[in-house]
Amino acid sequence: MKPAMLDTDILSEFLRGNPKVISRLDGHLEEYGFISFSIITYYETVNGLFYIKMQKSNWQNLKNSQN
C-alpha cells in the first residue's frame, strides 16, 4: 500500500462507520502511522458536519414549535 491522502468522500465514509473503509484505514495506520487529508477536505467535512447539526437543530425547533 502506498501512502495516500484521503478525499472528502473517503473521510465521510469513515465517519459514517463504513467497515470496508475503516479496515483499509486501519491497515494504512499500521503501515504508516498517520492519515493525511487536505485543508479542502478538512473544510468540506467540518462544513458538512456543521450543516447536519444545523438541520437537526432546525428540525427540533420546528417540532417544538408545533407542540
Report the C-alpha gap between 36 and 10 in whole angstroms.
12
Report the C-alpha gap between 24 and 19 in whole angstroms.
9
Per-residue pLDDT, 3: 84
pLDDT at 67 over 70: no
Q: Give the start-to-end residue ranges of the domains of the chain.
A: 5-66
CA 31-33-35 angle, 5° bins: 105
pLDDT digits (tens, 9 = 90+) for 13-38: 999 999 999 999 999 999 999 999 99
Report the C-alpha gap between 60 and 43 in whole angstroms.
26
